[in-house]
Amino acid sequence: MTDTTAIFGADITAPPVVHARFSIGDVVKHRRFGFRGVVFDIDPVFANSEEWYRAIPEESRPDKHQPFYHLLAENGETSYVAYVSQQNLLADDSGEPVDHPAIAGMFGTYANGKYQLRSLHRH
């Protein structure tokens, strides 16, 4: 085992590993604001701009060392793309599909709270 202090001159501690609670195609709901969305991409840790992060009030700013989800979101008035930390998401148990115009191009069938990703979009 290598001593990181000897190599780097400081003790380097990696952030804890946090596993994604949701997967692509899952329908989720924002814990605080109640909007719903479909997960279409996942960042294992925060990967947006510092400007975006600092725009969040400090008292409610999420930890960067957790999964962040890209959502095709809707709030009853409009549809949009949202970027949300894992701590702010819940599984949506309404059983209702999400109304977003980009869903049809990216996903196929909807069943049991999950959309099936079209094979053309798989990595």
Per-residue confidence in pLDDT tens, the chain, 123 aa: 444 455 555 666 666 677 999 999 999 999 999 999 999 999 999 999 999 999 999 999 999 999 999 999 999 899 999 999 999 999 999 999 999 999 999 999 999 889 999 986 555
Domain that holds residue 105: 18-121
Q: Is residue 50 part of a domain?
A: yes
Q: Is residue 8 part of a domain?
A: no
Q: Is residue 60 part of a domain?
A: yes
Distances (CA, A) of 52 to 1, 60, 83, 84, 89: 39, 13, 10, 12, 18
Which residues lie across from 115 on neighbouring strands? 110
Residue holding tokens 């990595």? 123
